[in-house]
Amino acid sequence: MNKLLPGLPFVASYSGGKDSALAIHRAVQSGMKLQALLITYNVDRGRSWFHGIPAEVLAEVERAVGAPVRLIRTTGPEYAAAFEAALAEEKALGARACVFGDIDIQGHLDWCSERCRAAGLEACFPLWQEERLELVKECLASGFKPIVTVVDTRRLPADFAGQPLTEELLDEMARRGADPCGENGEYHTFVPEGPIFARPIPVAVGPAQLVDGYAVAPLAAR
């Protein structure tokens, strides 16, 4: 398992959230060369898996980051195979590694590592086994400005959705017994501004909607 491989061209498994943004930032700071962002896209729902980012916003991400954003379009059953195929195609274009934002869930590391082995790429985990809260604080201190977009209402109040992620909000999450990094699925974020982007991403955040026990603040390009 690698944390960073300075000098290598890489693709990043991009969710739109704070952890993948920080992992990409660390990789670029180490001298790795960003080739593309890969994001899995739910064709049935018309938005990214897990973080629910629409294609119009991802197009703005591509303009801001200055590298292609590749949508891995899948309905679910072929998810792993589609991810491997995208990695293999990026390898043919010059990538030598894929960077992931996973922190400490072994099953995630194993899944990502297996996809990379199948495609012939190195797997890099810049944040692996670091203290969760310190990583969120580093993300904020580095200039990233995450927005909470999805909240599990069994663990956190619905009105957290749509709010900027700040140290004050982290403190409130901790008081409620939630993991402030959200590694247990308490919340997801979208990062429209930070050091990996040449300019802020023009995004509007709509009022939160309740969907299957989750409060979701929809995103749209401005």
Determine the pLDDT at residue 177: 92
* Mean pLDDT score across all residues of the chain: 96
Determine the pLDDT at residue 19: 97
Render pLDDT for 120-131 as a digit per residue (tens, 0 to 9). Answer: 999 999 999 999
The token pair that represents 201 in the structure block? 């991403």
Task: Give CA 40 to chain center in angstroms.
Answer: 10
Render pLDDT for 137-166 as a digit per residue (tens, 0 to 9). Answer: 999 999 999 999 999 999 999 999 999 999
Determine the pLDDT at residue 53: 95
Contact 156, 187 (CB under 8 A): yes
Residues of the chain with pLDDT under 50: none
Q: Percent of the chain having pLDDT more than 90?
A: 94
Domains assigned to the chain? 9-124 (3.40.50.620), 132-221 (3.90.1490)
Burial class (CB in 10 A: 0-12, 13-18, 19+), 29: middle
Instruction: Please give the angle made by the CA atoms of 193, 51 and 153, to the nearest 5 degrees.
Output: 110
Q: Residue with structure tokens 């030598």?
A: 96
| SS3 of residue 179 by DSSP | coil
Determine the pLDDT at residue 149: 96
Contact 70, 98 (CB under 8 A): no
Which stretch of DSSP H or E encloses residue 149? strand 147-152
Classify residue 160 by its DSSP letter: G
